[in-house]
Amino acid sequence: MAVNHKMLTGDVKKSILSFAFPIFLSQLFQQLYNSVDSLIVGNFLGKEALASVSSSGTLIFLLNSLFIGVAMGAGVVISRYFGAGNYKKVTEAIHTNIAFGLVAGAALTIFALIATPTILRMMKTDPEVLPGSILYFRCYFSGALAMVMYNIFNGIMNAVGDSRRPLYYLIFSSVLNVILDLLFIGVFRLGVGSAAVATAIAQACSALLALSHLMRTNDVNRVYIRKIRFHRSILKEILRYGLPTGVQNSVIAFANVIVQSNINSFGTDAMAGYGSYTKVEGFAFLPITCFSMALTTFIGQNLGARQYDRARKGASFGILTSITLAEFLGLFIFTFAPQLIRMFNDDAKVIELGVLQARTVAFFYFLLAFSHCIAGICRGAGKAIVPMVIMLAIWCVLRIIYITVMMHFIHEIRYIYWAYPLTWTISSILYLLYYLRSDWLHGFERA
C-alpha cells in the first residue's frame, strides 16, 4: 500500500503550494466552463435565457451546499486519520462517505425535481423567465447523484494529499461540457435546458473516471465496492465535522437566495446583470477556494500527526497568500468590469447593473479571502462549529435583516450589493479575534 506524506514533511510553503496549485487549476477550469456555459446561453439565446440560468444558480448552490459540507467533514476525518497513520480508519471513513453520498444524491434528485416550481415562485422569479428557470433547474438536477459522487471522490483524493487527479478529471469535464454546449445550443438550438443536460453529462463522466481510478489505485484511499456501507462510529465523526460545515454552507446559500429574490424583483435586466457579475466574481474565488481547501487538509493532517508548530506556520502562509491574490484579482475586476460584463451580454442596462455590482464589492475581496481561510483552518482543527456560528449570525441573519430593512425604506438595487462588503467586514473582525486567541490550535493540543 502506497502512502503519500507530502503535507507532513518538507518546506511548509512548498507543501501548501504544491497541493493548492492543482486545486487552483481545477477551480479555474470549473469557473471557465461555468462562464462559457453562460456566455453561450447569453449570446445564442439572449438575456431572457441568461436570466433563467442566473435565477437558478443560487438555488442550485442552496440544495448542493449541505451535502458538499458533509463531504468536506468526511475529508477532515480522512485527513486526520491519515496524518495519525491509522489507515484502517481511513478505509472505513472513505466507504462510509461513499455510502452517504449515494443516499444523499438520490434524495437530492427527488426533492429538487418535485420542489423546483414552488421554490422558484417563492424567489419572485420573473414570470417571463420562470418556464426556462424550471426547465434548467430540473435538467441540472437530473444529474444530482453524479454531481454529489463527483465531489465525494475528489474529496477522498484531496484528503490524502492528491490534488492532481481531480484536476485532470475536471479538465476533461470542462472540455466535454463546452463541446456539448456548443453542440446542443449552437448547432441544434435545443434551448436553455440543454445547457443543464450538458453539465449533468460532463459531471457523470468525470465521476465515473474518478471512481475508476479509486478502484484501481494501490494507495491508501482505494475503494472496494463490497466495502461500501455505513460504519456507525465513523458516520458520527463525519456528521460531527461535516454538519456544521453543511449548515454553514446552507445558511450562506439561503441568504444568497434572499439576495437573489430581491434582485429578481428588479426585473430581467437586473437578473442578467447579477448573473453575469457572479460569473466574473467566480474567478476571484479561485485563490480563496484553493487555499481554504489546502489549509483544511494541511491543518488536519499535521494536527493528526501532532506537528503543531508546522500547522501554525502553514496557517499564516496560507492566509497571507490567499488575501494577496484575491485582492489583486479584485482590483483587476474593478478596473475592467465593463469589458468583462459585456462578454456575457451586450445589453446596455445589463452591463450597467453588472458593473455597478462589480465596483461595489470587488475592492473588498481580501476580507472574503480572510474569512474563508480562517473557516478552512477551523475545519481542519475540528472546530467546524465556529465558522458555522459566525456565518449563520453574520452572512445569513444580519445580511437578511440589512437587505429587508433597506428594501423596505430605500428600494434601490445598489444597497443590495453593499450587503456583501458589510457582512464580510464584520465576519473578518470576528475571525481575527478568534484566530489571535489561538483556541483553534491549543484546544487540539490539550485534547
CB burial readout 117-142, b (16+ within 10 A) else e:
eebbeebebbeebbebbbbbbbbbbb
pTM as predicted: 0.74
Half-sphere exposure of 43 (CA within 13 A, CB side): 13
Is the residue at 293 inside a domain?
yes
Is the residue at 9 inside a domain?
no
Tell how far CA 407 is from the center of its chain.
28
pLDDT surpassing 70 at residue 57: no
**Helices 268-304 and 47-84 sit at what angle, rounded to 10 degrees?**
10
Q: Percent of the chain at pLDDT above 70?
A: 94
pLDDT tens for 202-260 read 989 999 999 999 999 988 889 999 999 999 999 988 888 777 877 777 777 778 778 88
Torsion angle in degrees (nearest 10) through CA of 165, 154, 202, 167: -30
Grade residue 333 by pLDDT with cuts at 50, 70 and 90: very high
Is the residue at 11 inside a domain?
no
Is the residue at 7 inside a domain?
no
pLDDT surpassing 50 at residue 195: yes
Range of the domain at 113: 19-446
Q: Mean pLDDT in the chain?
A: 85
The 3-state DSSP class for residue 2 equals strand
- For position 1, what pLDDT does the model report? 47
* Number of domains making up the chain: 1
Cα separation, 436 vs 432, in Å, equals 6
| Cross-strand bridge partners of residue 219 | 2
Is the residue at 1 inside a domain?
no
- For position 2, what pLDDT does the model report? 47
pLDDT tens for 287-317 read 898 899 889 888 888 888 888 889 889 999 9
| Those residues with Cβ within 8 angstroms of residue 161's Cβ, 6 or more apart along the chain or in another chain | 4, 5, 6, 7, 19, 82, 297, 301
pLDDT surpassing 70 at residue 55: no
- For position 446, what pLDDT does the model report? 46
Is the residue at 8 inside a domain?
no
Is the residue at 286 inside a domain?
yes
- For position 209, what pLDDT does the model report? 93
Is the residue at 98 inside a domain?
yes
